[in-house]
Chain A
Amino acid sequence: MKTLRIVVCVKYVPDATCDRRFADDLTVDRDDLDGLLSELDEYAVEQALQIKEAVDDAEVTVVTVGPEDALGALSKALSMGGDKAVHVEDDDLHGSDVLGTSSVLARAIEHTGYDLVLCGMASTDGGMGVLPSILAERLGVPQLTQLSELTVKDGVVTARRDGDLASEQLRASLPAVVSVTDRSGEARYPSFKGIMAAKKKPVETLDLSDLGIAADEVGLAAAWTKVDEAAQRPPRTVGTILADDGSGGRQLADFLAGRRLV
């Protein structure tokens, strides 16, 4: 067994630059939309690889809970340098909310075995930013979240969390759940060699029964939350746009005064 087992949680999300929308059951419409590895999870993969490079004997497993296409997110993470992947895929997972997703993910992480779990700061679709904390609660291990700096040495995590009011220096013992922000360091691009190597790396596919989870514990019907309505926001009506003729600032002042904004 490797001395440091790192599990990185990665999410497959619809491309934010496409027109994202809801399906008839008010879940995210994932058909006909390009998907990709949530960009903010690349930072988690990067930190995992840096930690691995700094110790002798570590292994990086990337895990996702998501539909068949989510394999794309795993491939990207493997091509960056992950060692192996776990894909939890089951039709009954469709429509799971954060409580459902987190319990499945926790089970998959336990199944894989872990010392350090790494997550992104938030997904680029749901964007709740709470899954890592919930995961720590479920796994019963320390949470070190929203980190801009992270070091793992001799079974201890030291880290910096930059909040609004203060910057905090944190310390915890492994096993632990960590999430890193987009300030933690640029993520590497997969090399051609990395992309070729990824094709040969092992991907374990698990369904709910493999994890001992009953189908009626998860998915849309069992969700803790229900979306009743989803309405497209009417596009903003574009107002006045004028080219500055030397009086643009003064005209802007008139506009603000007219709207009683000054």
Chain B
Amino acid sequence: MAEVLVYVDHADGAVRKPTLELLTLARRIGEPVAVFLGAGAEDAAPTLAEYGATKVLAADEPEFVEYLVVPKVDALHAAFAHVSPAAVLVPSSVEGKEIAGRLAVRTGSGLITDAVDVEAGEDGPVATQSVFAGSYTTKSRITKGTPVITVKPNSAAPAAAPAAGSVERLAVTVAEASKGTEVVSRTARESTGRPELTEAAVVVAGGRGVNGDFSAVEALADSLGAAVGASRAAVDAGWYPHSNQVGQTGKSVSPQLYIAAGISGAIQHRAGMQTSRTIVAVNKDEEAPIFDLVDYGVVGDLFDVVPQLTAELDARRR
């Protein structure tokens, strides 16, 4: 069977969930071969194997951290040349998309970004995209070269399918031209201990309506084991970090449950949450457009409704 390259997203060897989803999707098209860049391949290999990686091609060059993005393209390109894959799947992160785009140019291949599903088709893999703020669903194929597809988080339920997953060293030469942008320093973000926004099963989001106070939103999130999201209005006001922004210029999320508190539901916000399974809103304006989307809506003051919900959930658990 043809091999499919899967670019691994990880934090120091801890494989992130979207990669497991990619391995699961890759098995529909062929045999997944994982490409692991950076330190920790040996730690990651058992997990990658469990989800179907037949091989783990690993490289750890200092240039991956010293320069922006392009050295990783050199490495993925080396893996591509080594394997001659039937397709390449990359997680749809900012960096993932850039790596995929450059690989597509180098290999004369078509590119599809932000797929929410990938299936095998007669003429190669078929990718589903959700476009125009989630109002259309498209199915597309790549007609030239080797399909390069980036896939959004929460696009598949990871399913185990153990394979060999042996680690092979990948020989990579980082070209001089790939060292154009130096990473002078890197300041890691503090972890909040809450789930990753794009991967979470439940997201509780606050907007301008929280009026500077996210504590009710955070308390509900913690009661549900949820990630916290924010509208751009809340982020622009400085109430919450931009990394938690949901929408067109923030994260796009697709959880089982999305709870919007004090968010009006502007098109740019909807673009990032419209495909959530169940949508709930609390807003004191019954005319707010967010109510066009909801499975359940409460017209009321979030400072009454949200704490009552949190208390009720906590009480029922006792």
A associates with B:
yes
B98 lies within 8 A of A143 (CB): yes
Taking a contact as CB atoms closer than 8 A, the residue among A19, A170, A228, A262 that contacts B68 in the complex is A170
Per the 8 Å Cβ criterion, residues 57-105 of B in contact with A are: 68-70, 73, 93-95, 97-98, 100-102, 104-105
Q: How far is the CB of B73 from chain A (nearest CB, A)?
A: 8
List the B side residues contacting A166 at CB < 8 Å. 186-189
List the A side residues contacting B114 at CB < 8 Å. 127-128
Q: How far is the CB of A171 from chain B (nearest CB, A)?
A: 5
Contact with A along B151-194 (1 / 0, CB 8 A): 00000000000000000000000000100111111111100000
A137 lies within 8 A of B105 (CB): yes
Contact with A along B188-207 (1 / 0, CB 8 A): 11000000000000100000
Q: Does A124 contact B (CB under 8 A)?
A: yes
A232 lies within 8 A of B294 (CB): no
A170 lies within 8 A of B135 (CB): no
Q: Tell me the bound Cα distance from A128 to B96 in angstroms.
A: 12
Contact with B along A87-129 (1 / 0, CB 8 A): 0000000000111001000000000000000000110110111
Knowing A167-B186, A225-B111, the reply to whether A244 touches B301 (Cβ < 8 A) is yes
Taking a contact as CB atoms closer than 8 A, the residue among B126, B137, B280 that contacts A230 in the complex is B137
List the A side residues contacting B189 at CB < 8 Å. 164-167
Knowing A16-B133, A225-B111, the reply to whether A172 touches B143 (Cβ < 8 A) is no
Q: Tell me the bound Cα distance from A239 to B109 in angstroms.
A: 44
B69 lies within 8 A of A143 (CB): yes
B98 lies within 8 A of A249 (CB): no
Knowing A241-B294, A243-B286, A244-B305, the reply to whether A253 touches B142 (Cβ < 8 A) is no
Taking a contact as CB atoms closer than 8 A, the residue among B132, B184, B256 that contacts A261 in the complex is B256
Q: How far is the CB of A46 from chain B (nearest CB, A)?
A: 15
Q: Tell me the bound Cα distance from A40 to B248 in angstroms.
A: 10
Q: How many interface residues does A have (CB within 8 Å)?
A: 85
Interface segment out of the listed B29-37, B45-53, B307-315: B307-315
Q: Compute the total of residue contacts between A and B using a CB distance below 8 Å.
A: 258
List the A side residues contacting B292 at CB < 8 Å. 235-236, 238
Q: How many interface residues does B have (CB within 8 Å)?
A: 88
Knowing A226-B143, A253-B312, the reply to whether A169 touches B184 (Cβ < 8 A) is yes
B136 lies within 8 A of A230 (CB): yes
Taking a contact as CB atoms closer than 8 A, the residue among B70, B186, B308 that contacts A248 in the complex is B308
Nearest to B235 among chain A residues (CB) is A183
B109 lies within 8 A of A224 (CB): yes
List the B side residues contacting A242 at CB < 8 Å. 297-299
List the B side residues contacting A230 at CB < 8 Å. 131, 136-139
Q: Does A214 contact B (CB under 8 A)?
A: no
B268 lies within 8 A of A16 (CB): yes
Q: Does A204 contact B (CB under 8 A)?
A: no
List the A side residues contacting B215 at CB < 8 Å. none
B298 lies within 8 A of A40 (CB): no
Knowing A164-B189, A244-B300, A249-B305, the reply to whether A171 touches B184 (Cβ < 8 A) is yes
Q: Does A256 contact B (CB under 8 A)?
A: yes
List the A side residues contacting B311 at CB < 8 Å. 249
Knowing A128-B114, A133-B98, A251-B298, the reply to whether A144 touches B136 (Cβ < 8 A) is no
Nearest to A22 among chain B residues (CB) is B136
Q: Can you sample 11 A-B contacts with CB below 8 Å?
A: A127-B131, A131-B101, A133-B97, A133-B102, A166-B186, A167-B186, A183-B242, A226-B143, A231-B138, A249-B298, A253-B309
Q: Which residue numbers of A lie inside 8 Å of B, CB to CB?
A: 16-17, 19-22, 26, 40, 97-99, 102, 121-122, 124-125, 127-131, 133-134, 136-138, 140-146, 158, 161-173, 176, 181-183, 223-233, 235-236, 238-244, 246-253, 255-257, 259, 261-262
Can you list the 3 inter-chain pairs with the closest CB atoms, starting with the nearest? A249-B308, A244-B300, A142-B180
Q: With A233-B137, A235-B292 given, can you name 5 additional A-B contacts, CB distance below 8 Å?
A: A130-B101, A169-B183, A239-B297, A248-B308, A255-B296
